Amino acid sequence: MKRLASLALTGFAALTLSAAVQAEPDGEAIYNQACMACHMTGAAGAPIKGDEAAWAPRLEQGIETLYTHSIEGFGAMPAKGGFMNLSDEEVKASVDYMLEPLL
């Protein structure tokens, strides 16, 4: 019986870990770690989070273009903001977070 309980707990722990690994990326946390330095100050022409006028021409290009530019780099912005360890989904989550106030 103890063995069955132990196996059940092990299985539950594995499922919990798997669910945590598959959770959606935290756009705010990624922004704070990887994006804020430029997108809070406007460094190198980066549009500041919440600045509707700065984001408007970019938004006109469509969200997929914004994602592509963020992932591959564009102008002074390096690919993934220089954080090559980020997944494409994490980059997209940070873009979504930056655009939340405008959408």
Report yes or no on 7 lying in a domain.
no
Q: Is the pLDDT of residue 1 over 80?
A: no
Report yes or no on 76 lying in a domain.
yes
Q: What is the CATH number of the domain that holds 94?
A: 1.10.760.10
Report yes or no on 14 lying in a domain.
no
Q: Which residue has the higher pLDDT, 68 or 10?
A: 68
Q: Domain range holding 58?
A: 25-102
Report yes or no on 58 lying in a domain.
yes
Mean pLDDT of the chain: 86
Q: How confident is the model at residue 32 (pLDDT cuts 50, 70, 90)?
A: very high
Fill in the amino acid letter for 70: S
Contact 98, 31 (CB under 8 A): yes
Q: What's the pTM?
A: 0.77
Please write the tens of the pLDDT for every residue from 74-97: 999 999 999 999 999 999 999 999
For 69, other C-beta atoms within 10 Å of its C-beta total 16
Here the tokens at position 10 are: 């092990």
Domain count across the chain:
1
Report yes or no on 68 lying in a domain.
yes
Report yes or no on 20 lying in a domain.
no
CA dist 63 and 8 (Å) reads: 44
